[in-house]
Amino acid sequence: MSNKQSKANLESLKMQSANEVGVNLGNGYNGDITARQAGSIGGMMVKKMIESYEQGARK
């Protein structure tokens, strides 16, 4: 997988995670969100990455 594709996948994961935790992110600058909101997004991303890894390991 190319570096550009990896970045695009992470960006997509970030947007999906933000929607799930109820944070509205836009393209570009998002410095107006709180640390708690940013942490919620990051936590959801990690949770999804772990789930994805575990599903891949079971196959």
Can you list the alpha helix ranges (DSSP code H) found in 1-59? 3-21, 35-58
> pTM of this prediction?
0.83
Within its chain, how far is the Cα of 36 from the centroid?
A: 15
Residue 28 confidence (pLDDT) above 90: no
Give the confidence band of 1 by pLDDT, cuts at 50, 70, 90.
Answer: confident
- Residues 37-46, buried b or exposed e (16+ Cβ, 10 A)? beebbeebbe
pLDDT of residue 19: 96
Task: With beta carbons less than 8 A apart as the criterion, state whether 20 and 44 touch.
Answer: yes
pLDDT of residue 59: 61
Mean pLDDT over 13-42 rounds to 95
Q: What is the share, in percent, of the chain residues with pLDDT greater than 90?
A: 85
Domain boundaries, the chain: 3-58
Q: DSSP character for 22?
A: T
* Cα(54)–Cα(27) distance, integer angstroms: 30
